[in-house]
Structure 1
């Protein structure tokens, strides 16, 4: 009897360790909701759950080995997420990319034909109706974000902004959604004497203004010719 109680107490102790490590990981990464999770987070949490569930009753595995395995798994999750946040190609693999459904009042055919987007027109219409939009004709812009959320701008509601650069990396899907190209962006930055790697954040506001926050937190705002931008986007 005492032997069983000791084993149960040991299992509870291991369970407590697992909960503390996972809670600390979520707190440090500031991910408190499912919408903030990447595919790596979901996979990592399944693995952590498997480790905890498979080892807390397996007393042939030492508590030290169990602790090392948990910390190593958390470390790999953090490492992969860090790589994804720093390198845009990795980010698109891990987090996916935004899919523009309607741009300038017109359906984006490439998005509709892309099998990987899994676009469902019925679900799309239902989401519009839930937002009080009862006709696709009233939509100026609609885009599914990488987290699955739908952004909608009605005609006459003003212009949408696009994130062009994040931490020195071009956000390719946003750039394409804006109707511009990387060559155009590089040209505009060069004219302003700004290097891409020095940019913390760059946003296209409307159709003629770019707002930039540098790594040293200084800001720049400049306008460009709409005609030139359209030539650069071709």
Structure 2
């Protein structure tokens, strides 16, 4: 009986350690909501759950080895998330790609034909109704974000902004959704004497204005001719 109580106390102690370590990790990474999780976080949570569930009753594995394994797993999760945040191609693999369904009042055929998007027109119209939009004809812009959330702009509600650059890297799906090209963006930046690698954040506001925050936190705002941009994209 005493032996069983000691084993139970030891298992509870290990469970407590696991909860403390994971809670500290979630607090430090500010990922305390499922909406903040990406595929790496979900996979990591499954692995962490398997480690805790498989080891707390296994007396052949020392508590030190158990803690090291938990910390190593958390370290790998942090490393993969860091790579995804620094390299845009890796980000799109890990966090997914935004899918534009309607742009300028027209369905985007490429998105509808893309099998990987799993677009369902019935679900789409139901989501529109839940937002008080009862006709697709009233939609100017609709896009499923990388986290699965739907962004909708009704006709007459104004223009949507697009993130063109993040930490010196072109956000390709947002650039495509804006209807512009990377060649156009490069040309506009060159005309302003701005280097891509010096940009912390660049946003296209509407269709004729770009707002830029540099790495040194200085800002630039400039407009461009919509006609010239369309000619440049031809």
Same fold (TM over 0.5): yes
Q: CA deviation at 1:3?
A: 1.2
For residues 12-62 of structure 1, the C-alpha deviation after alignment (integer angstroms, 9 at most, x for no partner) is 110001001110111011011111100000000000000000000000000
SS at match of 2:207: coil
Q: CA deviation at 1:232?
A: 2.7
**Which structure 1 residue ranges, 5 or more long, are not aligned?**
none
Q: CA deviation at 1:196?
A: 0.5
SS at match of 2:142: strand
For residues 200-234 of structure 1, the C-alpha deviation after alignment (integer angstroms, 9 at most, x for no partner) is 10000001000000111100000011111112333
Aligned residues of 1:103 and 1:177 also touching (Cα < 8 A)? yes
SS at match of 1:156: coil
Rounded Cα–Cα distance in structure 2 between residues aligned with 1:193 and 1:104: 31
Which residue of 2 is the match for residue 19 of structure 1?
19
The alignment covers a number of residue pairs equal to 234
Rounded Cα–Cα distance in structure 1 between residues aligned with 2:233 and 2:121: 28
Which residue of 2 is the match for residue 220 of structure 1?
220
Rounded Cα–Cα distance in structure 2 between residues aligned with 1:233 and 1:98: 22
SS at match of 2:162: strand
Q: CA deviation at 1:88?
A: 0.4
Rounded Cα–Cα distance in structure 1 between residues aligned with 2:185 and 2:171: 11
Most deviating of 25-34 and 139-148: 25-34
Which residue of 1 is the match for residue 165 of structure 2?
165
Which residue of 2 is the match for residue 135 of structure 1?
135
SS at match of 1:116: helix
Most deviating of 26-35 and 172-181: 26-35
Aligned residues of 1:180 and 1:232 also touching (Cα < 8 A)? no
Which residue of 1 is the match for residue 9 of structure 2?
9
Aligned residues of 1:164 and 1:172 also touching (Cα < 8 A)? yes
For residues 106-149 of structure 1, the C-alpha deviation after alignment (integer angstroms, 9 at most, x for no partner) is 00000000000000000000000000000000000000000000
Superposition pairs for residues 115-126 of structure 1, below 5 Å?
A: 115-126=115-126
1:43 partnered with 2:43:
yes
Which residue of 2 is the match for residue 149 of structure 1?
149
TM-score by length of 1: 0.99
Q: CA deviation at 1:2?
A: 1.4
- Deviating runs (4+, > 4 A) in structure 1? none
SS at match of 1:151: strand
For residues 179-213 of structure 1, the C-alpha deviation after alignment (integer angstroms, 9 at most, x for no partner) is 00111101100111111111110000001000000
Q: CA deviation at 1:76?
A: 0.3
Rounded Cα–Cα distance in structure 2 between residues aligned with 1:116 and 1:233: 27
